[in-house]
Amino acid sequence: MSDPALISQVTAIVRKAGKVPANVLITTDSRMVEDLNIDSLDLVDVILKIQDEFDVVVEDDDLPLLLSVADLVNYISVRRNRAVA
C-alpha cells in the first residue's frame, strides 16, 4: 500500500461521501465507523463511490472486511492488479 495517489483519492472519497468534517484527520489506519463516525447510509455511499471511481466491484461478502481506509486501498489495489493480469 505505497501508492500515495491512490491513498489520497480514497481519503478524498471517504471524506466527501462519508461526510467527515475537514478538521478530522484521516489516515490509512482510520476506521470508518469507529474513528470517523461514518454512519451506515454514508458508508454505503463511500462503497458506491469507490466502485464508480475505480471501476471495481465490492462483493457483499467482502464488506465486513473493509473497516479502515487501508482496507479500502488494499482492496482496490488487489482488484486493479487482477484486472491487469
Q: Catalytic amino acids?
A: 39
User: How far apart (Å, rounded) are the C-alpha atoms in residues 65 and 16?
Assistant: 21
SS3 31: strand
Bridge partners of residue 71, in order along the sequence: none
User: What are the CB-based long-range contacts (under 8 Å, 24+) for 34-38?
Assistant: 38/14
